[in-house]
Amino acid sequence: MSDALLSSLALIEPGDLVMYHGSIETHHGLWIAVPCACGICEQLDAFGLADIRFALVDPWGERSGPHHVRRESITRSAAS
């Protein structure tokens, strides 16, 4: 297994710096990942389904980021 693949599979911990490359192109870039706490996730949690989603927080606190982001849409930043 290559290093790149290994790092892409690495677990993302709350507070990790991540690169977002998902469907919202205007939001591509660096964010801090935290667990998504939207109503959908609350319900999934209640059913015991482990579909982990993330909310993204601007490291500079200037704009609100996307939430309910798929794990596949973010990559842990090498800078963290």
Nearer to Zn ion, 32 or 36 (CB): 36
Report the nearest approach of Zn ion to the CB of residue 2 (Å): 31
Which run of H or E residues covers position 40?
Answer: helix 39-47
Report the nearest approach of Zn ion to the CB of residue 14 (Å): 14
What residues make contact with Zn ion under the rule CB under 5 A? 36, 38, 40-41, 53, 68
21 DSSP assignment:
-
Nearer to Zn ion, 53 or 71 (CB): 53
Report the nearest approach of Zn ion to the CB of residue 46 (Å): 13
